Amino acid sequence: MSLTALLNTDLPLIQAPMAGSQDHRLAAAVCQAGGLGSIPCAMLTPAALRQELQAMRELTERPFNLNFFSHVPPEPDAAREAGWRETLAPYYDELGVDPASIAGGPGRLPFNAEAAALVEEFRPAVVSFHFGLPQPDLLERVRRSGAKILSSATTLDEALWLQERGVDAVIAQGLEAGGHRGHFLDFDLSRQLGTFALLPQLVDALDVPVIAAGGISDARGVTAAMALGAAGVQVGSAYLLCPEATTSVLHRAALQSPAARHTALTNLFSGRPARGIVNRLMRELGPLSTQAPAFPLATAAIAPLRAAAEARGSGDFSPLWAGQNVASCRPMPAAELTRELAQSLGRST
């Protein structure tokens, strides 16, 4: 089955879910242009997700994707948290942040029973997961709702694991991709592959469609991915400059500056490796730190630094998520970008 038939879309093109940089407006614009728009749900409360779903239904009747995280929340570690805040103490002093005023909190929520109930109520065409899959009973609720199920794999082992559990398609997330790595079976970053090394391995080994993600920002990348056997592509960073995205002014400026040529995987902002533009915090602490609390608990201690710096017009403490290939990214409406990406597919929107 083709990806368009599986997803019921005009184009085999998915807009990557980008928590913190988009809402339903970007997703709806992509859907209306023939692709599959995605709503990131990990940072939304059930009430906020309900609002997004209602707003999405008002803008489009086309199929769309809801994306959830499938991580297991860690046990809080007071000693590690205290050590992390001690590491950040000079920055708190510099920006006038009182560490005692910092509230804890997970920052990102895994897929749970409340989310499953919303899936059952609103019945999205597609539900995708990052960091593996939820518990079998929750996954079965999604399947019974009628949604097609996608999930990200960063290695062949992860892709086979997902196929064994009945996903309808696998997203091959290459090392170039911006935002959080989707790995879940093996946390050794040396096993992570670039998109065009990972993709053909998955295409050869799997029976389900494989969707290429990471480093694809224009029609040339789409062509290359399809030539290697991809059933479709997932594009994220290129959509960050669209007017429908909620990308901050600071983030937009960074994406269009020479700084965007240098990205790195960092765990400083959330506790889990994610690719972003290198900034002051990453340079001074090193992008990867053993002191950072486990995902997603590192977020709370960084949040007030980010807020204070951004109020001064600085992205020194902000997660400026971006993939390795943003040189060709330009500000343009999401529908126009979707059509440009699809130029090589021999289809019209």
Helix (H) or strand (E) holding 269: none
Quote helix, strand, coil % in the chain, to nearest 5.
Answer: 40, 15, 45
59 contacts: CB under 8 Å, gap ≥ 6: 24, 25, 28, 32
Question: Taking residues 227-250, what's their average pLDDT?
Answer: 98
Distance CA 271, CA 289 (A): 9
Among 68-72, 100-104, 151-155, the minimum mean pLDDT is found in 100-104
Q: Show the domains of the chain with their CATH numbers.
A: 1-70+107-243+332-348 (3.20.20.70), 73-106+247-327 (no CATH)
Q: According to the model, what pLDDT value does residue 348 have?
A: 37
Three-class SS state of 146:
coil
**CA separation (Å) from 206 to 24, 70, 149, 159, 211?**
32, 22, 15, 8, 12
pTM score: 0.96
Q: Are 30 and 338 in contact (CB under 8 A)?
A: yes
pLDDT in tens, 282-337: 999 999 999 999 999 999 999 999 999 999 999 999 999 999 999 888 999 999 99
Q: Are 158 and 183 in contact (CB under 8 A)?
A: yes
Among 102-106, 126-130, 286-290, the minimum mean pLDDT is found in 102-106
Q: According to the model, what pLDDT value does residue 196 have?
A: 97
Question: Taking residues 341-348, what's their average pLDDT?
Answer: 72
Question: Taking residues 248-254, what's their average pLDDT?
Answer: 97
Residue whose entry in the numeric block shows the structure tokens 């002191």 = 291
Of the chain, the end-to-end C-alpha distance in Å amounts to 21
Q: According to the model, what pLDDT value does residue 284 have?
A: 98
Question: Taking residues 249-257, what's their average pLDDT?
Answer: 97
Q: Whose CA is closest to 125, among 183, 67, 41?
A: 67
Q: According to the model, what pLDDT value does residue 340 have?
A: 95
pLDDT band, residue 346 (cuts 50/70/90) = low
Q: According to the model, what pLDDT value does residue 3 have?
A: 97
Distance CA 213, CA 89 (A): 37
Helices (H), the chain: 3-7, 24-32, 46-59, 78-95, 113-122, 136-144, 156-164, 195-205, 219-227, 249-255, 280-285, 299-311, 334-341
Residue whose entry in the numeric block shows the structure tokens 């082992």 = 157
> Concatenated DSSP letters for 175-208?
TT-SEE----S---GGG---HHHHHHHHHHH-SS
Record the tokens describing residue 123, joined without a space: 């019945």
Mean pLDDT of the chain: 95
85: phi then psi, degrees, rounded to nearest 5? -70, -30
Question: Taking residues 186-202, what's their average pLDDT?
Answer: 96
Q: According to the model, what pLDDT value does residue 163 have?
A: 98
**Residue 146: alpha-carbon gap to chain centroid:** 23
**CA separation (Å) from 223 to 216, 220, 226, 231, 344?**
10, 5, 5, 11, 6
Q: According to the model, what pLDDT value does residue 344 have?
A: 78
Q: Are 14 and 35 in contact (CB under 8 A)?
A: yes
Hey, which residues does 150 pair with through a beta bridge?
A: 128, 169
pLDDT at residue 135 greater than cutoff 60: yes
Question: Taking residues 58-62, what's their average pLDDT?
Answer: 97
Q: According to the model, what pLDDT value does residue 105 have?
A: 66
pLDDT band, residue 109 (cuts 50/70/90) = confident
C-alpha triplet 109, 18, 76: angle, nearest 5°: 25
Q: Whose CA is closest to 237, among 345, 124, 341, 344?
A: 341
Q: According to the model, what pLDDT value does residue 347 have?
A: 47
